[in-house]
Amino acid sequence: MFHKEGYKIIVITLVVVIVSILAIDWFIDIEWLRLLLSITLLVFLFLILQFFRNPKRHTKLEDHTAVSPVDGKVVVIEEVFEKEVFNDKRIQVSVFMSPINVHVTRYPISGKISYSKYHPGKYLVAWHPKASEENERTTVVVDNKNFGRVLYRQVAGALAKRIVNYAKTEDQAVQGSDSGFIKFGSRVDLYLPLDADIKVELNQKVKGGESIIAEKS
Active site residues: 186
Q: What are phi and psi of 154, to 5 degrees?
A: -80, 130
* Burial (CB count <10 Å: 0-12, 13-18, 19+), residue 71: buried
Rg from Cα positions in the chain = 20
Q: Reduced to 3 states, what is the DSSP secondary structure of residue 154? A: strand
